[in-house]
Amino acid sequence: MSRTVILTRREVFSSSHRLYSDKLSLEENKNIYGKCINSHGHNYVLEVSVRGGVKEDIGMFMNITELKEILKEKVMDKLDHKDLEKDVPELKGIVTTTENLSIFIWDQLYPSLKEFLYEVKILETENNFVVYRGE
């Protein structure tokens, strides 16, 4: 009987964005997003967790090298050193709150990681962070 662990990989990506909804007036945008309607940026800290049963002989259920490659292809190459508003086609029309980014990253990773994917956590700053678990 295998034991179930949660394995997490942490990555950092540096992107620019602003919070602005085209469906709202300038005034409404200001009220909701405050100074975040200006273009600015972050070193986003991303923690992706996968969950599965450890194979006894090799002491892993998924190789972290494989996880890193998936993160590189599906997330880092798309978001790192990019303008989230302009350079990421899949994010067109989506307000890039940390909440929406965590869901976006989940959706990017799910086809590769499937039922192993357990949690996506993003720290926008050291003081604000969001967790999404696919619910």
17 known member of a binding site:
yes
Give the closest residue to 61 by CA, choosing from 120, 133, 2, 121: 2
- What tokens appear for 89 in the block? 């086609």
- Interacting residues with its own copies (CB under 8 A): 3-12, 14-17, 19, 21, 23-24, 32, 34-36, 38-43, 49, 54, 57-61, 63-65, 80-83, 86-87, 94-100, 102-103, 125-133, 135
Residue type, 1: M
Q: How far is the CB of 34 from its own copies (least distance, A)?
A: 6
Residue 114 phi/psi, 5° resolution?
45, -130
Q: How far is the CB of 69 from its own copies (least distance, A)?
A: 12
| Closer Cβ to its own copies, 97 or 112, answer by number | 97
64 known member of a binding site:
no
CA dist 3 and 27 (Å) reads: 53
CA dist 71 and 73 (Å) reads: 6
Tell me the catalytic residues: 36, 81, 124
Binding residues for Zn(2+): 17, 40, 42
